[in-house]
Amino acid sequence: MRVHVSIHDVSPAYEGEVIHLLDLCHARGIKPALLVVPNFHGRAPLPDAPAFVDSVRSLSASHELFLHGYYHRSTAREGVRAFVDQRIVSAGEAEFSNLTIGECAELVNAGTEMMRELGLRIDGFVPPAWTMAHGLLEVLTARGCEYTEDHLTVRRPKTGETWPSLVVNFASRSRTRALTTTLFSRLSMMLSLDVRTRVALHPTDLRVPFLHGEIARLLDWAKTQELSTAAQLLSA
C-alpha cells in the first residue's frame, strides 16, 4: 500500500515538537513531508525565526515542502456551517472553510511570496484541517499547483487528476476524539486496504501521553509499506 507521511503545522511556534516528530520519522528511515505555516496564529512569522527557516531549507533537499495555510486560523464568521467547520471539525483552525475566492487568492499569494523570499520551495498546498472553500481549488488550479488534498482525496489541481485517499491522524484536541481516531488508525493498519494512505502527524499529538506509543506504532507500520511522495500518490 502507498503511504505518505507528513508533519503538519511546521512553524517556529512548535519547533520542539516538530524536531521530536522528525526524529521519530528519521529513526525509521521515513522522510516526512513538511507542512509549513507562514505565520501561525499571527504570532510566529517565519522571517522572525531565521535559524528555523535554515533548518527547513536544508531539510527540503530530501523532504517535500507544502504550504499549509497562512495563519492557520479562521477569521470566524457566524452561521451553522461555520460553527460546524470551526468548532467541531477543527477547533477554529479551518482557515479556508469560509473564504471568498479573492480572500483565498490573497492568503495563498502571501504565503507563496513569503516562502519564495525565504528560499523555500513549494511542492503543493494543504489547507488547514483539510477544509477547502469552493474558490480555493480554482485559485490552486490557476496557479498550476501540483498537489493538494482534503479528507477523502489527493489531487493535482493543474490537471484535475484526483484519487481517493484515506487520512490517518490523531485528533489530539480532545481525549474522546483522540481515542476514536486511535481506533481508526489501528483499524486501517490491520485492514491494510489497498488505498493511498496519508499518515498526518501533528505537533499537538505529543501533548497526549498515550499517543506517543500510537505514533510509534503507526510509523513502525508505515515503514513496512510503500513509502511515497505526493507525486507517487498521484500516479496511476
Compare residues 72 and 226 and give the one whose CB is closer to Zn ion. 72
Does 198 sit near Zn ion (CB under 5 A)?
no
Contact 95, 107 (CB under 8 A): yes
Length of the chain: 236
- The stretch near Zn ion (CB under 5 A) out of 8-16, 43-51, 156-164, 176-184 is 8-16
Does 9 sit near Zn ion (CB under 5 A)?
yes
* Residues numbered 106-165 forming contacts with Zn ion, rule: CB under 5 A: 128
Distance in Å, CB of 107 to Zn ion, minimum: 14
- The stretch near Zn ion (CB under 5 A) out of 1-9, 168-176, 178-186, 216-224 is 1-9
| Residues β-bridged to residue 199 | 5, 168
Residue 91 CA to residue 201 CA, distance in Å, equals 17
Q: Report the 10 Å Cβ neighbour count for 56.
A: 22
28 backbone dihedrals φ, ψ, rounded to 5°: -110, 10
Residues 6+ apart with CB under 8 A from 115: 36, 38, 46, 65, 67, 121, 122
**Nearest residue to 130 (alpha-carbon basis) of 6, 224, 42:** 6
Compare residues 19 and 193 and give the one whose CB is closer to Zn ion. 19
- The stretch near Zn ion (CB under 5 A) out of 6-14, 95-103, 160-168, 181-189 is 6-14
Distance in Å, CB of 203 to Zn ion, minimum: 9
Q: Grid coordinates in use for 21? A: 516528530
- The stretch near Zn ion (CB under 5 A) out of 4-12, 59-67, 182-190, 225-233 is 4-12
By beta carbon distance, the residue nearest Zn ion is 8
Q: Which residue among 3, 6, 7, 8 contacts Zn ion (CB under 5 A)?
A: 8
Which residues make up the interface to Zn ion (CB under 5 A)? 8-9, 128
